[in-house]
Structure 1
Amino acid sequence: MTRLEELLTTWIPTQRWFAGKGVAVDALRIEATHVLVPGVPGLRILVVAVAQNGRTDRYQVLLGLRAPDAIADELAHAVIGVCDSPADLRDLPSVVVYDATHDASMTAYLLDAIAEDRDDGAVRFRSAPGSTVHTGLRSLVLTGEQSNTTLVYGEEYVLKTFRRLWPGRNPDLELTSALARVGSEYIARPHGWIETDVVDPETGRTTPTTLAMLQQYLRSATDGWVLAATSVRDLYASPDLLPGEAGGDFAGEAHRLGAATAAVHRDLARVLPTDVLSPEAQARLADDMAARLHVAVAEVPELASHARTLYAAFEALGNMDADLPVQRVHGDYHLGQVVRTDSGWVLLDFEGEPAVPVRERQKLSSPLRDVAGMLRSFDYAARYQLVGRTDNSALVATARAWAQRNREAFCEGYAFGGGVDPEKHQMVLRAFEYDKAVYEVMYEARHRPHWISIPLDSIMALTG
């Protein structure tokens, strides 16, 4: 009979949230098994270590177990396979194991446990201070996510389960909870979380680690990327018009989004630590940017013609002789991380880059890093619809005009909302934006070569 580890070695690399695609799995080990619902049907949380090419990553698997003749048709797509029964189920020779995020009868347990602040062995379920969690709601898995799995309970809550686990409190929970404490109107209210202890391989110490977080479900929300893309489509349908004349002009929303971003940055600076980067620290930051550019030019020769301008921008940052204020920021900010509700803009997904350890994501940075991320997102929203179009060249000027209008509106809104005025800090903003664009070139070259023209065209426009 097949062992569970063998099934997981085949199944995990096929999942959207697996970070090691394209690299062979050298070894897989179940580090921890937390039994939440014993027997069959049963529910367990597994912490699985996957070794690839000299490094080991941890993943969370919410595992369902049923008797081989008791798997429901609606769960067939979630089946991982049939394997030997675990030691605590001696009366069954084998069990069907499956991804229990798709089993509403099992995920109800998670909501109940958060509502009750339950300790279940080494897994701790907690409701947020002042929050009353309603139970009895059926869950549904959201599709399309890359790095996490989110369950929607009725129309009240979303439970984001973090698939790739890094030791420590996830910044999404940390920052959202901090913003809730000061009454921010620009976040989805946190209602609870799930955590366990994981050994930090660098320190050897056991560290409380976030497995999932429960937040308010935003009923009327529309994704910022969708809104921006619709505006671009409207403009491309009437390319003779200026962006401000087209029916779907986005500039007003971009201005409001800038103001909302500034308000969030102000609140984060009020409730969490702040500091400054000395000129020496800025020089090290600039050196890191230049090193990334060096790697990118070697991998994507088309960058070479712009390298001098890019290096000059990084050098200018490194030569600044004034301290640079830093604080906690979003860290992975773009149009896909914001939604428009009936009452205004809401910022989501404060976890930062999921591929980076938590301790790195918790480092302070300039709020202009988030501003640069959003500016790059406007460029992407304008240009991605040109990929593969026969009238591409005729619309390039239109795309640039749309992006420029909304970039300016966002920056004006950010300054209006009390953020540092991007116009007065162009040297810092330019370095962050160039660095982000270089990262995009590398990403597209490795993962979406047919999109590489988007960041390359943007760099040409920015440095031209």
Structure 2
Amino acid sequence: MPEAVARPGTVPLARRRLLDSLGPLLREWLPRQRWFAGKGRPITGFELVSATDLLPPGSPQGLIHLLVRVKQPPASAEPPAPRSSDCYQLLIGVHQALPRHLAPALIGHARTGPLSGQTLYEALHDPRLADVLLEALRSRARIGSLCFEHDSETELPAKLPPRVLGAEQSNSSLIYGESYILKLLRRVVEGVNPDLELPLVLARDGCRQVPAPAAWFLADGSAGRGHATETSVLGVMTPFLSGAEGAWELALDALAARRPFTEEAHGLGRATGAVHASLGRALPTVTLGRAQLAVLARAMTDRLDGAAEVVPALREFAPRLRTAFTELGALDPAELAWSAQRVHGDLHLGQCLRQRSGEWSVIDFEGEPARPLAERRLPQPPVRDVAGMLRSFDYAARTLPRTAAQEHAAGPGGSVSDMGSGSAGEDPAAAGPDSSWYAEWAEDCRAAYCAGYAEVAGRDPRADPVLLRAYETDKAVYEVVYESRNRPDWVSVPMAAVRRLAAAAGPR
């Protein structure tokens, strides 16, 4: 890890002084970014992990790659236990005066420190600076602690025009020439990241449902701070599926047109089954015994207890929700048809694309970023992914009527974010006469998805209701916490599932 970073026309900047320029600006800019995980908590300081200049001296502008640890007080009782600091990947453009077309990318004007007088901005929006990343991947460059690689059978073309993917997400993506998409991981952790690990494994196994990585880049931990640390994955490039349609958008279109989505759900089930079958062949599996089931049940119970502390609306339902986990811990392993294996870890409609050919592709194997990396890489029952997709059908069915009702209430120009949601226990899909149609739509999708999955995997998730209910409950609890932190006016959507799952448990 380099001890200094050079800016064009200057002597190398001492690493410890770089934050004199960046710190005041990042305190204001970071909390406004969609991918910043520490919203709602004050930033108390920064630690510069690495700083690498990706442009040579004499260039008319600068491009600084940063890994910055952001220090914040932990949130109280929030599951999983939050870290007091997260490491973020930043690409900072440095210019004397920012061109007008880059004004939306402005971070700020440095007033102190070694970058004083310079304009700093989000470099991904600058085509020239985005091209620097492509060229580094093409040439398999090593710059400071950064290692750029590409697949030996892939020849990346030069000068592919870049553009930033506009969709909101927990990372950032660049599309190059409608041929490739480079996903840059914003929150960086040391170790083997499943977002690169699993697609490489699936590519070697010949799995057609997952785009194979074409290139990637890493931070080599062995180069820094005087002691060996683990390598961190920073970015993964895959073929861009031009013309592909997102499953989430397709589902909402179907709901808006009041037509079934069962054919698509069936295909998604088959694609999920194929991915699980490939992972089960390529990587070790673990038998689920009593001890493993007890560990799963205990972890789910702990997450529920922590969530009830964060979201008071959960407390009245917690005793009945807890029975789902108690039953899981008491389950006879001989009754299960499942073993534990590597899974996607965060599967939902937003992680699936339908190609022009009609085939489904599954993307984004990072898992839930809030969970520790070691946990994300543990073998899990494949039902965990199935439960995530079943919850996603329910989300879609409850999102459309809720959004339509809010837009009507807000009037022309109103937005969902401006509207309150009323009681956290209110069911948004129960407000109108069509509520039963939306509920039936979701149930039909769930049945079609499980049937498609069973055709490929050879086992129907519905045949293990205790396991499936436990994972659906765990996912709904996670969603309640997520929405309470990020979109409080949407808490009612997963709370409707909480009520349904609690009611299924019967009286206390």
Query: Is this a same-fold pair by TM over 0.5?
Result: yes
What is the distance in 2 between the residues matched to 1:118 and 1:51?
31
Contact 1:387 1:451 in 2 (8 A): no
Return the match for 1:412 from 451, 474, 477.
451
Query: What residue number does 1:353 align with?
Result: 368
Shift of 1:256: 0.9
User: SS in structure 2 opposite 1:386?
Assistant: helix
Shift of 1:10: 2.5
**Residues 297-352 of structure 1: CA distance to partner in whole angstroms, max 9, x if unpaired?**
45545445544442222111101231751111110110001011122110011100
What's the TM-score, normalizing by structure 2? 0.82
When residues 413 and 303 of structure 1 are mapped into structure 2, their CA distance, relative to the original with a 3 A threshold, is same
Shift of 1:93: 6.5
Return the match for 2:103 from 65, 68, 76.
76
Shift of 1:205: 4.2
What is the distance in 2 between the residues matched to 1:445 and 1:49?
25
Query: What residue number does 2:210 align with?
Result: 187
1:451 aligns with 2:490: yes
Query: What residue number does 2:402 align with?
Result: 387
**Residues 342-385 of structure 1: CA distance to partner in whole angstroms, max 9, x if unpaired?**
22110011100112232221111111000000000000000112
Q: What is the letter of the counterpart of residue 290 of structure 1?
A: T
Contact 1:231 1:250 in 2 (8 A): yes
Structure 1's unaligned 5+ residue stretches are: 236-247
Query: What residue number does 1:286 align with?
Result: 297
1:47 aligns with 2:58: no
Shift of 1:402: 0.5
What is the distance in 2 between the residues matched to 1:161 and 1:456?
33
Equivalence map 1:220-231=2 (5 Å):
220-231=243-254
Structure 2's unaligned 5+ residue stretches are: 1-17, 75-83, 409-429
**Residues 405-443 of structure 1: CA distance to partner in whole angstroms, max 9, x if unpaired?**
000000000000125321221111111011111222222
Query: What residue number does 2:475 align with?
Result: 436
Q: What is the letter of the counterpart of residue 51 of structure 1?
A: K
What is the distance in 1 between the residues matched to 2:243 and 2:169?
23
Contact 1:372 1:432 in 2 (8 A): yes
1:326 aligns with 2:344: no
**Residues 133-178 of structure 1: CA distance to partner in whole angstroms, max 9, x if unpaired?**
1121111011232311100001100010111111123211111111
What is the distance in 1 between the residues matched to 2:490 and 2:108?
37
Equivalence map 1:202-213=2 (5 Å):
205-213=228-236
When residues 25 and 300 of structure 1 are mapped into structure 2, their CA distance, relative to the original with a 3 A threshold, is closer
Moved more, 293-302 or 419-428: 293-302
Query: What residue number does 2:11 align with?
Result: none
When residues 297 and 210 of structure 1 are mapped into structure 2, their CA distance, relative to the original with a 3 A threshold, is closer
**Residues 214-261 of structure 1: CA distance to partner in whole angstroms, max 9, x if unpaired?**
1100012111001111111122xxxxxxxxxxxx32101101110110
Q: What is the letter of the counterpart of residue 317 of structure 1?
A: L
Greater strand proportion: 1
- The total of aligned residue pairs comes to 444
Query: What residue number does 1:24 align with?
Result: 42
1:113 aligns with 2:136: yes
Moved more, 444-453 or 385-394: 385-394
Shift of 1:84: 6.6
Contact 1:85 1:95 in 2 (8 A): no
Moved more, 403-412 or 414-423: 414-423
What is the distance in 2 between the residues matched to 1:260 and 1:200?
41
Return the match for 2:265 from 254, 275, 278.
254
Contact 1:7 1:80 in 2 (8 A): yes
Moved more, 415-424 or 372-381: 415-424
What is the distance in 2 between the residues matched to 1:127 and 1:86?
37
Query: What residue number does 1:336 align with?
Result: 350
When residues 337 and 33 of structure 1 are mapped into structure 2, their CA distance, relative to the original with a 3 A threshold, is same
User: SS in structure 2 opposite 1:46?
Assistant: strand
When residues 301 and 147 of structure 1 are mapped into structure 2, their CA distance, relative to the original with a 3 A threshold, is closer
Contact 1:176 1:190 in 2 (8 A): yes
When residues 60 and 296 of structure 1 are mapped into structure 2, their CA distance, relative to the original with a 3 A threshold, is closer
What is the distance in 1 between the residues matched to 2:368 and 2:205?
25
1:123 aligns with 2:149: no
**Residues 91-133 of structure 1: CA distance to partner in whole angstroms, max 9, x if unpaired?**
x963222111111101111111111211122111100231111
User: SS in structure 1 opposite 2:464?
Assistant: helix
Shift of 1:296: 3.5
Contact 2:21 2:116 in 1 (8 A): no
Equivalence map 1:130-279=2 (5 Å):
130-198=153-221, 205-235=228-258, 248-279=259-290
What is the distance in 2 between the residues matched to 1:93 and 1:21?
28
Q: What is the letter of the counterpart of residue 71 of structure 2?
A: A
Contact 1:263 1:419 in 2 (8 A): no
What is the distance in 2 between the residues matched to 1:448 and 1:257?
27
Q: What is the letter of the counterpart of residue 141 of structure 1?
A: V
1:57 aligns with 2:86: yes
Query: What residue number does 2:387 align with?
Result: 372
Shift of 1:181: 1.1
